[in-house]
Amino acid sequence: MSGAKIIPNKPFIIFLYGFPGSGKTAFARQLAEELTAAHLQQDRLSQELYSENSARTEKPSRNALNYMTREFLRSGVSVIYDANVYRVAERRALRDAARQVKATPVQIWLQIDPESAFLRTQKRDRRKSDDHFAKDYTPESYEATLHRMQNPENEDYVVISGKHTYQTQRAAVFKKFYELGILTPSQLSKATPAKPEMVNLVPQNVVRTNGEITRRNININ
């Protein structure tokens, strides 16, 4: 993006939901290049502040991320929260933290089929900024992650396709920003017109148990 960044009309926090490999970090990075907001990336915190490739880094890096998020929001700085908010309770806590300081929470669901998303995780280029700090996945660890995820149900969110270009994703998100008063009409006019309606790419072979989702007959080679 060229030119000055867009300054939001009021502070917000964006948090992302989607399979690993759905394009969360790529979207977050491009949005942060266009809007005045702090892009806080958990995978980067894990590797730069703690030991690499250790499951023990998950909790301290998340604690650090949450602390930074609260401090930015209290200072009136918008936040793009780039982490795996797979659980309903995590998303609720972010909304509560935002509302305590009169920031607007915005949840974005990047939808893509799990097979395509997994293949992306196997083809990451560590030389690129979007892939450099990303986690490695085996078929087993990927499937385990899917089983921990809880789809948004009675939550407010924006659906964008993980297979669409950033320009199309941006149009849908900017429209939501306008509805929430984050962007003014003049700022919204800079957004690229939306392309055909987003489609639901979540596979139909999904079984929910106690609010969690599990999948059957997903073949990851």
* Tens digit of each residue's pLDDT, the chain (221 residues): 456 889 999 999 999 999 999 999 999 999 999 999 999 998 888 877 765 555 455 777 888 899 999 999 999 999 999 998 999 999 999 999 999 999 999 999 999 999 999 999 999 888 888 888 888 999 999 999 999 999 999 999 999 999 999 999 999 999 999 999 999 988 777 654 444 444 444 444 444 444 444 443 444 44
Q: Please enumerate in sequence order all residues whose Cβ is within 8 A of that of 138, keeping only pairs 6 or more positions apart, or say none.
A: none
Is the pTM higher than 0.75? The answer reads yes
Q: What class has domain 12-215? A: alpha beta
Output the six-digit token pair for 199: 């489609």
Burial class, 188, CB count within 10 angstroms (exposed 0-12 / middle 13-18 / buried 19+): middle
